[in-house]
Amino acid sequence: MKNELIFDIEKELDGTKIREYLRKKEFSTRFIRSAAGDKRIRVNGKIAKLSYVLREADKLQIQVSKVEDQNIEPEKIDIEVVYEDEDVIVINKPPGIVVHPTKSYPSGTLANGILYYFREKGENCIVRLVSRLDMDTSGLILVAKNQFSHMSLARDMQSETFKKGYLAITHNNSENHGFKESSGTIDLPIYRPGDGEIIRVIDDRGQRSITHYEVLETYEEGQLLKLMLETGRTHQIRVHLSYLGHPIYGDALYGKEEQQYIKRQALHAYMLHFPHPRTREVVKLETDLPQDMKVLITNLKDIK
């Protein structure tokens, strides 16, 4: 069954309790408790407690899906599905849409649209965001469709096989224009100055933050950069680039509003690699630059 995980108990793990067995398989404590409490754990077809001692050739079965509710109203919103299976869905988010409901944006968010999409398909899923993007950043967002896949993906976000790539169009600065090196690493700590503050700053009191960059194209008044995150701090790319004198075009928070060029920050999450929760094979996804960033590049190329 698609909504079930099945493990044939190995000889070397004969005599292991279910609780310890699942921990060895890197299941989170929260998931283990939830599955046991909902009686979604069976051995050879019969409901089993966590204290059950497994024997070689036992068949351990864990039901992944369960009935769940979420305080989000489904809304018919067009969403672009890049990848989907029984465990995950990846959406190409357009700019100008909030990912999840907030006090300021209680409806009309990507989560409202995804929940509607699930209901239309007859799937009893809630929206479990694995990755997020700012309102005016476009690109790939990963959503788990069950508790198991969310647990697995959240854990794997720290692994080398989980990669997030971005494309940004940046300003040159007055002193040395764009980045002189074709590639490099930005290693600067990011700090939140106060509770409730949206803006982040570079400060030694902050968390270590690492961004790898590669210059793809250079223009008279800007550059197209490919960026890979080693850490995932709030606004990390925007803060790093602005601090170095290369703010992203249209970034009103860390640069300036530039309606004549683009109506939002020119930042796009174009690439996502992640180990699949069930198969462990790495899923590799990429998406093209959105039209507004293509137009911006065309305009920058015309500047002599």
Q: Beta-carbon neighbour count of residue 217 at 10 Å? A: 13
Polymer length of the chain: 304
Structure tokens at 251: 């970034």
Q: What is the DSSP track for 251-289?
A: -TTTS---TTT-SS--EEEEEEEEE-TTT-PEEEEE-PP
Query: What helix, strand, coil percent values describe the chain, rounded to 5?
Result: 20, 30, 50
Spatial separation of the C-alpha atoms in residues 217 and 276, rounded to whole Å: 33
Annotated active-site positions, please?
A: 134
Q: Which of 8, 143, 29, 170 is nearest to 87 (CA)?
A: 143
Judge whether 207 and 278 are in contact, CB under 8 Å.
no
Judge whether 144 and 86 are in contact, CB under 8 Å.
no
The conformation of residue 186, written as its DSSP 8-state character, comes to E
Q: Beta-carbon neighbour count of residue 107 at 10 Å? A: 12
DSSP helix/strand/coil, 57: coil
